[in-house]
Amino acid sequence: MPTEIPSVADGMQRMDAALVRCDDVARTYGSGPAAVVAVHGLDCHVPPGARIAVVGPSGSGKSTLLHLMAGLDRPTAGKVSHPGIDGADADTLTRHIGVVFQGPSLLPPLTVAENVALPLRIDGVPETEADDRAQVALARLELTELARRLPDELSAGQAQRVAVARVLARRPRLVLADEPTGQLDRATGRQVLAILLGTAQELGAAVLVTTHDPRIARALDVRWYMADGRLIRPEAGDGGDDRTDHPTDQRSSGGEKT
Ligand SMILES: Nc1ncnc2c1ncn2[C@@H]1O[C@H](COP(=O)(O)OP(=O)(O)OP(=O)(O)O)[C@@H](O)[C@H]1O
Ligand SMILES: [Mg+2]
């Protein structure tokens, strides 16, 4: 029925628009002599379907960038926008941007299965469907046997995998994963990353992963480097080790240099 078919022009605009965009973004913690400039001068965007690794030393601002992109924190200067996400209010952002946090994030009184299903219930997904989707996500991460456990009864690595399952079950358009393999041994880390990337591809979701692990970074299409709160993305062929497969492909390379 023609009235139910969205306008091609509108659809194209939304499909092509960046899921998140940072324009000259800065975040300073505190004020006066004790102020810490966590990030500054950030210009970047994440196109739909992009697969980006953010690497850089501890304290370089990776988590700060990720929280700003998710709308969980506000910049002290510049602008973070979400042109590809309609009506980007806080609820909509939470719905479409899945965050795997660097630290523990599961709710202690809820079982693993309940933790994964809860965001779906909050979105209004009927209970049975939410439970089914939670089970599918847990099975994918090979966590079915842990579904009835409480977070306190998990290892740090298992909890991290549950956090990944929780994000994927919600079918986000953008996954922001903050060192999602940091608590995992190398083999499990690679496996979890493969599941994350595979599921994201099925969903058509973009993925941005912060990591210290060069092997993990190489598994993504594009690498962004952070140092002292700045985002540095080597231009193709400038001698950097950012050997992107598609250095000029806007679908997969969202960093911008000004
Ligand atoms: N709540 C806060 N209050 C004050 N300073 C903060 C706060 N959060 C982060 N910082 C500082 O901001 C800078 C960037 O921190 P951030 O957590 O973004 O780094 P990171 O690259 O994620 O590090 P890591 O690899 O260790 O996770 C650091 O100097 C840190 O000490
Ligand atoms: Mg961090």
CB < 8 Å & 24+ apart, contacts of 233-239 = 233/44, 233/257
- What lies within 8 Å, CB to CB, of 143 at 6+ separation is 112, 158, 161, 162, 165
Report pLDDT for 253.
45
How many residues does this entry show for the chain?
Answer: 258
Full pLDDT tens readout for the chain, 258 residues: 443 433 334 434 456 899 999 999 999 999 999 999 999 999 999 999 999 999 999 999 999 999 999 999 999 999 999 999 887 688 888 889 999 999 889 999 999 999 999 999 999 999 999 999 999 999 999 999 999 999 999 999 999 999 999 999 999 999 999 999 988 898 889 989 999 999 999 999 999 999 988 889 999 999 999 999 999 875 443 333 444 433 223 344 454 433
- Global pTM? 0.87
Tell me the fold of 48-75+87-232: Rossmann fold (3.40.50)
Query: 211: Cβ below 6 Å to ligand 1?
Result: no
Report pLDDT for 88.
66
- What lies within 8 Å, CB to CB, of 82 at 6+ separation is 18, 19, 20, 21, 71, 88, 93, 97
Let me know if 205 is exposed, middle or buried by CB neighbors in 10 A (0-12, 13-18, 19+): buried
H/E element, 160: helix 156-169
Encoded tokens for 130: 């939410």
User: 54 C-alpha to center of ligand 1: Å?
Assistant: 14
H/E element, 98: strand 97-100
Let me know if 90 is exposed, middle or buried by CB neighbors in 10 A (0-12, 13-18, 19+): exposed
Report pLDDT for 48.
95
User: 9 C-alpha to center of ligand 2: Å?
Assistant: 39
Report pLDDT for 234.
54
Closest ligand 1 atom, residue 226 Cα: 21
Query: 38: Cβ below 6 Å to ligand 1?
Result: yes
Q: Say what angle helices 127-140 and 156-169 make with each other, to 10 degrees.
A: 130
User: 210 C-alpha to center of ligand 2: Å?
Assistant: 8
Report pLDDT for 92.
86
Report pLDDT for 240.
38
User: What span, in angstroms and rounded, lies between the C-alpha atoms of 10 and 19?
Assistant: 15
- Report which protein residue has its CA nearest ligand 1's atom 2: 29
